[in-house]
Amino acid sequence: MDLDKLKEVLAGEPKFRLKQAYQAIFTDLIADWRDNTTLPPKLREKLDVECPLELKATLFGSKNSESLKILLELADGGKVESVLLKHADGRRTVCVSAQVGCPLGCKFCATGMLGFKRNLSTDEIVAQVLFFSRYLKRNETEHDRVTNVVFMGMGEPLLNYDSMMEAVRILNSKDAFNIGARRISISTAGIIPGVEKLMREDLQINLAISLHAATDELRSELMPINNKYPLEDLMKVVARFARAKNREVMFEYLLIKGINDRREDALALVDLMRIELFMVNLIRYNPTGVYGPSNSAEIARFKNILSENGINVTQRYSFGQDINAACGQLANKNQ
Ligand code: SF4
């Protein structure tokens, strides 16, 4: 799918043709121009040749699974993974990738171990949501649609800022997916210039920080990017973001056995979370071979320390371990 090419083909047509084409792609969710009824037949034939809508992906999981994963094939042979999470309350969240691999090399992350190949284009990001939108239309109730998008898949979205932001605008556009900005979240390992840029955007999108350690010493060990953007600077810019947007910011914290789940780790985290709009989301670590997960008692103890100190804390239910689709597990293993 190539949206620039689509605009190019429709450049000589009346303006409303582009709107009709967007409607066909993003609302009617057609996968073949021959299924469209609004555009003139000649134009459909041309689009069929020049802008095919087929998406190539392998699907893991089944209709009844609470999470589904795809391995999306890119035009240059690259592959990325995306996950659909089906929440009990009806939300349908797509977790999208922003890069092929990731340059940040976090020690606990399967994607980080792959190294970095390249940034995804806007179309390649949008295609991930489009695939699951089509899937839901075909397989679930007629009105089931993607309600939320989180940039928490492979790669660091703020290092692919322009393509990521253009994709966000398409997700948010009334002419395309019409997903509210408040239902779109960008998760970063702490790229400070990217957070500053995001702060200047006119959209009320959510920010999440992959924190995973509350001291520079431990964080730099687990996440080398912390050497470049240390905690004190990061926390200052995130506080400015939260206040400027008046939005809660979520700090993701994977609990890794014996590494970041000790009492002193919890107390250090309490110290960082003194700002009202900050909240912590605890996630049980999904083993990727290097570290092990904290057990339930250790997670409960950690959570209690935060709660007792007045920190707003939740614990994320972990989807998708069975298909290697859980947090930190996306590494094209099912190829
Ligand atoms: S945790 Fe995120 S930023 Fe770190 S290596 Fe994995 S994908 Fe990259």
Q: What are phi and psi of 238, to 5 degrees?
A: -70, -35
Return the ligand 1 atom nearest residue 103 CA: 8
Residues near ligand 1 (Cβ within 6 A): 102, 104-106, 109, 111-112, 154-156, 189, 210
Distance (Å) from CA 111 to ligand 1 centroid = 6
204-261 confidence digits (pLDDT tens): 999 999 999 999 999 999 999 999 999 999 999 999 999 999 999 999 999 999 999 9
Distance (Å) from CA 318 to ligand 1 centroid = 17
- C-alpha 333/C-alpha 335 separation (Å) is 6
**207 with 247: CB under 8 angstroms?**
yes
Q: Which helix (DSSP H) or strand (DSSP E) does residue 129 occupy?
A: helix 122-139
- C-alpha 189/C-alpha 187 separation (Å) is 7
As a whole number, the mean pLDDT across the chain is 92
Q: Which helix (DSSP H) or strand (DSSP E) does residue 100 occupy?
A: strand 99-101
- Domains of the chain, each with CATH number or no CATH: 3-50 (no CATH), 57-323 (3.20.20.70)
- Facing residues of 149 across strands? 94, 184
Mutate which of 109, 159, 186 to test ligand 1's pocket (most atoms within 8 Å of Cβ)? 109
Distance (Å) from CA 112 to ligand 1 centroid = 5
- C-alpha 332/C-alpha 114 separation (Å) is 9
56-90 confidence digits (pLDDT tens): 999 998 777 788 999 999 999 999 999 999 988 88
